[in-house]
Structures are given as structure tokens and as C-alpha cells.
Structure 1
Amino acid sequence: MLAAQPIDHLVADPDTDTELKRKLTLANQARRFAENRLALPTGDAYTDYSELGRPWVVVNLVAVPEFSLTPHQWCYPVLGCQAYRGYFNLDGARTEQRQFQELGYDTFIGGVTAYSTLGWFDDPLHSGFTSLSDDRMVALIFHELAHRVLYIDEDTAFNESFATAVELEGLRLWLEKRGEGKQFEAAVQRQAQRNQTLAMVEKTSRELEALYQRKGELTRDAMRQQKEQLFAELVSEYNRRAMHWEEPGPLGKQLESLNNANIALFRQYNQYVPGFRQLLKEQDYRFDDFFDRVMALSEQDEEQRVQILEQLSQRFDEYL
């Protein structure tokens, strides 16, 4: 943040790299679209630019017990509890990862391209954004700005699914407005891949949850064997479908293995996306009304929130 420079100055500077200048100009346009069409609270976010010198801001560690799909929670001042922990230093993440692995946890470390300080600070645009393709950069801007609208303590899946829904619908409207058919088609294909992957992951998750409920009936070795078989089937099915995708899918181009932490993280960002998208659709894509409805939903207890979102999901039909 301290190293950031005003984007307007960089765009006006003749010494700024031509491609970076184009990306910054596009980001400015996306920011105005987010404020005017998507009713997102931009404030002074993304008015400055910072060069990171690496493709990620932080790396996140996710840790899940061997026979569970409920991630370990880390709790922080102000923010409450989250199902991941971020590190600026990869070695620090790996050190804590080993500690969890010694306790039998499934773990995953992944690079985080962007973040939101939830409106506490004016987050800068950075090279993690500008290194992405145009549509992915714009979508990420929408996603992170959505976190400034709403954040619920201790409900990562709600927060991330909401932001992902805003990202997807915002990108659709953005590309439609600009008449960018080629990029829109690519976004359509990525969404189809995401939907197929979510369906596969949810099916396996239901089977794993049924297995994990049998802790008292089966030996640990028997449970471990069945768990490995379920994940092997998921990896095989994903790879079979991914062979026909033009772009890498949401879990990568080809998988070698998966564990509880991988799918727990994927579900957090996607589990309730269909429900949120249906809620937005029912508001006729008036984002300010949608945000009011989501605010009201956030005030319900967790069981009620889940029930309402699942009912909305059942009504949702993909139109992309």
C-alpha cells in the first residue's frame, strides 16, 4: 500500500509500459461500472497501483481433519473466524502445514491473487490483477469490491459465495455492455466448467459425509480406504471432463490427487453461488435491492441462511 502510485498519474506518464497503461485504463472503467451499474461501494479502492514482484499477495493454508469436511477455523481481531490462514511468507505456511499434517489433517496451500480489507483501507490495484486476462481481472475487481458490501464473521462459505455471485453476474453485464462476444463466450465456457465441477464435488462431498458419519462403525483403515477410493473416482471424472475443456478447469488442467482441504476450499467459494444468483435474478438484477435482501438474509441464524439459499439454488437455472 505504501509503495502504490496513483493510477491516473501512471496512465498519464509517457514512460509507463503501454500494456500496463491499457490494463490500468481498463481497471478504471471496470471500477466506474462497478459503482454505477453494480451499486458496489468503491470508495477510493483501486485508484492506486502497486507492483508486487510476484503473482500472489499471500498464500492461504486450509486444514481439514482426516474424516471431516469442516475446515479448521482461525480467529482474528475484528474479522472474526475464517476457514483459512494467510501468510506473506511461503515457508511460514509450510511450517504450520507440517504441524497439521502431523495431527492427521488434510491440508492445502494456494496462492491468493487478491484480497479485500472490507473497506477499512483503500485497497490498491496491483500486479496480481494486471497479470490476468482482461475479463478475469475485471471479474476479480468485482469480487473483491463485493466484500465491502457485506462480511459475516465465521461464515466463509456465505461471504465467498456471495462475492463469487456478484463477480459472475457483474462480468456478464460488463461483457454484454461492451459487446465483447469472444470474451463472453470464454466466460460462458468457464462457468460451464465451474458448474460441472461443483456438481461433481457436491456428489463426492455427500458420499464423504455419509462415510465420515460411520466413524464408530468402521475401522480407521477401512474408512481411509473408502475415502481414497471416492477421491480417486472424483479425480478420474474431473480429468475425463477436463480433457475436452479448452481452458484449465477450476481445479486445474489435470489432477493427480485431491483431499478434504481441496474440496472444502472449492465449496467455500461456490457452495451457495446458485442461490445468490437466483436471489439477484428475482430482484431483476437491481443490485441495490439484491444487497438489501442479502443483508436481511445475513441477519438470520446460520441454519436459516443455509435453508433459504438451498431453496433458492433449487430454483436456479443456468442461462449463460
Structure 2
Amino acid sequence: METGPSITPRSMKQLSQIYLLLLLITGLTGCTTIGYYTQAITGHFGLMTRAEPVPKVIGNAETPADIRDKLALALEARQFAREQLALPVEDAFLEYVQLERPWVVVNLVAVPEFSLEPHRWCYPFVGCQAYRGYFSLEDAREEQARFRANGYDTFIGGVTAYSTLGWFDDPLHSGFTRLSEDRMVALMFHELAHRVVYIAEDTTFNESFATSVELEGLRQWLSQRGEADRFDEALARLQRRNQTLDLVRAATSGLEALYQQSDSLAEDTLRARKQAILSRLAEDYRELSETWTEPGPFGPAPVTLNNANLALFRQYNQFVPGFRQLLADHGNDFPAFYRAVEELGQQPPDQRTAALERLSQRFEENL
């Protein structure tokens, strides 16, 4: 006889937190707002109720061997993250959920037609973000349609994992275990880094910081396991990302100059010139990707790009060199690095951006 999903003591604790959040959001106005938070909370609760303790999954004879191996590796990575990277692991990644899809949520990015500044959604506790996550693709598409009707460029992308910033005990799921070993471990480090520092209304700062921890954490992880040469694969991916970022910087420079003329140029002229820049970027990306052994950050060519694609890509990559230089300046001492990042995050946005740009200019690989 089939039984319903069991709820572990850890899930019960998180359920009480969810009820608290539900009480808080009832004070928010607007059906769209309440509907969004309801889907977010019920989506996360749906993961929790299906989660099983990782040791139990490993010990289950019916669990495929590759899943058991990945989960055992994940437990090692948790310990490494806590002991070597000083990450606040707590009870994260101690439960496992089998998903029926490759992504756990999808993110929507929406940017005005003649701008590179994404729309920001604001939330209780975490401030404003330049994207909105959905457990339901249909819900994301409904919101996307509303923005498109108002002339926005939009993009919806699948997300392998997300962080609740320590509010809940984030589970492992099959989105992790579908990845190669090094990518799974790197993703764990990335999501745990969000628990260290989170600056409200600065998605680029947060994601670039987490990506820097992901990269340096992976380097140390592979080195400790005697697999330092495998970091070359991560560096190759980073090189593809950096080469793409160079193309994006050139294109966005042209777009920014164009958009500054929005008051003096006709919309048809703006659209034609915008499309010419984006088409050139897509063609440059295609030519560049011909030298790569696997698809780059925008996926396999040919690609169709818009303001939203570019905004999302810059959020995750813009200041990674700067954060990596800051870590090197602190002798790869992670606690000292985190304190420096916290201090940097307390500066006004313009000042911390300028500081990260200066750090980025100093960065060289393999310091």
C-alpha cells in the first residue's frame, strides 16, 4: 500500500518557519504578491516533504550506485566546506529529493527595451533582486507575458539549485547529482557562500562573491584529493566565461551609448541599431565557440540575445576576478576574506563597485 511522504523532524522545524512566513505575507497587498509567495512557500515545502535523510538514501539497496556515490561525495564536500572554507554548513544538504525535471526552479529576468537595468522585485527580509524564481514554469511564463506586453526584454532560465540564505535547511536533489562530481561540489560551495554574505539589492555583488568562493573552493578541494590537474577543466570553463564576458562588455558598452540617445532617436532607429549590436554579439559568440570543446555560457550557437540575457550574465560574472583578488590579498584565509567582503558590502554601492573594479584589474590567474 502506498503511503504519503514522511516528514522528518528537520522538516517539521522548517514547516513551523513556513507557517510564520505565511502569517507575515498575509500583511502584503495585491493578489499577485500573495500568489507569488504562496507558490514559493508551497514549492519549497513540496521539496521538504519529499526529502529523505542522505544516509538513509545511501543505505537503501534500491538506490542506484551512481546516486549513492554522489551523495557520499556530497557528505565529504559538506565537511570540507565547513572545515576548510569556513562556510556555515549547519544542517544544509543532509536530505535528498529526487526531482522529475533537471531544474528546481526557473528564474525570470525582465529588462526595459532600451535599458540594461533589470526590473527588481522586492521581498521581505532579503530586499530587492534582479530576478524572480518560480517553481512553476507556467507561472513564470504568465509573469513574462505581462512584462512583454509592456515592451520588456525577458528571459526565463532553469536553475539547478537555490539558497534560502540559511532560513531553511536546503536539501540536495537530483539537480545536483546529475552534474559531474566537480560541478556538484562547486555548486554546493556556491550555494553555501550565500549564507555568509548577502547584500540586499545587489545581485551582482552576491552572485560574483558566491562564484569566487565556488572557484577557489573547488581548487582547494581538488588539490586536497590529489586531483589538482582537474581544476584545469574548471579553468577552461572559466576561460570560456571570461571570453564571453569580454564580448558582452563590448556589446553592452555600445548598447549603453545607444540607450543614452533614447530621447533624441526614433524608436524604430533605436530598435534597428540595438538589433545590429545584438546580432554582432551573437555572431562573435558563434565564431568564438567554434574553438571550444563544449557549449559556452549562452549555450550552443546560434543564439538569440536580448537585454535580459546580458543582464543575467553580467550579474553572475562581473566581479568574480575582484573577489578572487581580495581572497588572494588575504592569503587565501577564508574567514579573513569573508570579513573583508562584509566590510566591502557595507560601503555605498558606488564605492564597493569601484573597489571591485580596482581589484579586478590587479587579478591574474594562478597567483
TM-score range for the pair, normalised by the shorter chain length: over 0.9
Question: Which SS does the other structure have where 2:62 is aligned?
Answer: coil
- Hey, what's the Cα distance between the residues in 2 that align with 1:173 and 1:238? 31
Say if 2:208 and 2:316, in contact at 8 Å, map to a contact too.
yes
TM-score (norm 2): 0.85
1:3-152 equivalences under 5 Å are 3-152=50-199
**C-alpha displacement at 1:182, in angstroms?**
5.6
Shift of 1:304: 0.8
Identical columns (%): 59
Residue in 2 that maps onto 1:284: 331
Q: Identify the residue that residue 297 of structure 1 maps to in structure 2.
A: 344
Q: After TM superposition, which residue ranges in structure 1, 4 or more long, deviate above 6 angstroms?
A: none
Where in structure 2 are the equivalents of 1:81-230 lying within 5 Å? 81-180=128-227, 183-230=230-277
Mapped to 1, the partners of 2:92 and 2:228 lie a distance apart of: 29
Q: Per the alignment, in what secondary structure is the counterpart of residue 328 of structure 2?
A: helix
Give the distance between the partners of 1:318 and 1:84, measured in 2 at CA.
30
1:234 positional shift: 0.7
**Cα distance in 1, alignment partners of residues 195 and 303 from structure 2:** 36
Q: Deviations over 1:140-189 (max 9, x none)?
A: 00000000001111111111111011111111111122222563222121
Deviation at 1:225, TM superposition (A): 1.0
Q: Is the 8 A contact 2:122 2:129 kept in 1?
A: yes
**1:315 corresponds to:** 362
The aligned length equals: 320
**Structure 1 equivalent of residue 296 of structure 2:** 249
Distance, in Å, in 2 between the alignment partners of 1:52 and 1:213 is 45
Output the CA distance in 1 between the equivalents of 2:357 and 2:228: 32
Q: CA deviation at 1:315?
A: 0.7
Identify which range, 280-289 or 183-192, moves more after superposition: 183-192
Gaps of 5+ in 2: 1-47
User: Within 2, Cα distance between the matches of 1:181 and 1:173?
Assistant: 8
SS of corresponding position for 2:106: strand
How far apart are the structure 2 equivalents of 1:183 and 1:318? 16
User: Is this contact kept in 1: 2:286–2:302, CA < 8 A?
Assistant: yes
**1:274 has 2:321 as partner:** yes
Cα distance in 1, alignment partners of residues 151 and 302 from structure 2: 22
SS in 2 for 1:2: helix
What is the one-letter code of the residue matched to 1:125?
L
**Residue type of the partner of 2:256?**
E
How far apart are the structure 2 equivalents of 1:199 and 1:318? Answer: 16
Q: 1:264 pairs with 306, 311, 314, which one?
A: 311
Deviation string 1:33-64 (CA, Å, 9 cap, x unpaired) is: 11111110100100111112111111111000
Taking the aligned partners of 1:318 and 1:21, their CA distance within structure 2 comes to 35
* 1:29 Cα deviation from its structure 2 partner: 1.1
Contact 2:219/2:228, CA 8 A, preserved across alignment:
no
2:278 is aligned to: 231
- TM-score normalised according to structure 1 size: 0.97
Over aligned residues, Cα RMSD in angstroms?
1.2
C-alpha displacement of 1:129: 0.5
Aligned equivalents of 1:243, 1:176: Cα separation in 2: 31
SS of aligned partner of 2:49: coil
